[in-house]
Amino acid sequence: MVRSDRLNGQIRKALSGFYYVYAEGETYQTRARGNFRNRKITPLVGDDVIFESDNLTDGYLLEILPRENELVRPSVANVDIGVVVMSMIEPNFSYNLLDRFLVALEHKRIQPVIYLTKIDLLEEAGLKQLDNIRQVYQSSYPIIIGDRSDEDQRSIRELEQYFPDRLTVFMGQSGAGKSTLLNKISPELQLTTGEISEALGRGKHTTRHVELIPLYDGLVADTPGFSSIEFLEMDAVELPKQFPEFVKASTGCKFRECMHRKEPGCEVKKEVAEGTIAQVRYDNYLQFLSEIEDRRPVYKKKSKGN
């Protein structure tokens, strides 16, 4: 029975100006009050909200409750788990791209899970690289090995354990198999797959509406998500905090706000030299740091020219 009350709920879908809010076992179609636009507030899928309604089709959002985090492409709020899908081959694995995803998720306080695909296509050199990937990341992140035909359900079951009571999104390389993986987890999604579809359908996936699907006692965003990352919201001093092994080592650094680049007595540089911290992670860190530092003067020059 529907009643006209202030209710607490969660936005599960946003489409054509309507927000579909789940509350007390029902889904309410709502609109945002006009003052949301005046206050430059855009409700997002995943938002916890206060709304009012006296039937299932004519509700109004009254308030967006504080967010834990938010992502763009897909636009989702209050994300708990980010599954980073990376291919070992076709396209080839990229430490740099994986680290971009991991840093972005760490910055948003989202737990990353690494899911590696196309293992069955690897030859000897690729299998050696797989061992190295495990050595680099397994101390900081869960790693799931997928796409072994005889154990495919094993990897899916391993992934599903992260879903209960959490909101999960997928991201990773274009062509790595995000849509294929989502279809295995929930066949009713029927997302477009295949090399040509991955290339041509990317815009379609990023512009289509996002919906949260209840799966395995949790919620999963029904979109393969974004495939590239820029560090637009991060300051240089924040970057070292997004590498868990750096955070652990930094307690031994001489300087409290050590940037692990030129400072004397840096424990991170010491552990890189000893092989405790992977050289590839440190090299990527230095590249990301340069990108962030190089970005800032560009914005300042633009503002002066206006």
Contacts of 301 by beta carbon, 8 Å cutoff, 6+ apart: none
Amino acid identity of residue 81, one-letter, is I
CB-CB contact of 217 with 210 (8 Å): no
Q: How far apart are the first and last CA of the chain?
A: 57
State the Cα torsion 257-258-261-263 to the nearest 10°.
120
User: What DSSP line would sit under 263-290, residue for residue?
Assistant: -TT-HHHHHHHHTSS-HHHHHHHHHHHH
CB-CB contact of 89 with 61 (8 Å): no
- The angle formed by the CA atoms of residues 201, 182 and 153, to the nearest 5 degrees, is 140
CB-CB contact of 164 with 217 (8 Å): yes
Give all domains of the chain, ordered by start, each with its CATH number.
5-66 (2.40.50.140), 71-221 (3.40.50.300), 236-297 (1.10.40.50)
> At 52, which helix (H) or strand (E)?
strand 48-53
Amino acid identity of residue 164, one-letter, is P
Model confidence, pTM? 0.86
Which of the residues in the chain have pLDDT under 50? 1, 193-207, 298-306
What is the token pair recorded at 109?
């306080």
Contacts of 201 by beta carbon, 8 Å cutoff, 6+ apart: 192
CB-CB contact of 26 with 18 (8 Å): no
Query: For residues 122 and 136, what is the distance between their CA atoms, to the nearest angstrom?
Result: 19
CB-CB contact of 130 with 116 (8 Å): yes
Query: For residues 24 and 304, what is the distance between their CA atoms, to the nearest angstrom?
Result: 52
Query: For residues 13 and 114, what is the distance between their CA atoms, to the nearest angstrom?
Result: 26
- The angle formed by the CA atoms of residues 292, 45 and 227, to the nearest 5 degrees, is 40
Q: What are phi and psi of 116, to 5 degrees?
A: -100, 130
Query: For residues 122 and 103, what is the distance between their CA atoms, to the nearest angstrom?
Result: 27
pLDDT value of position 190:
62
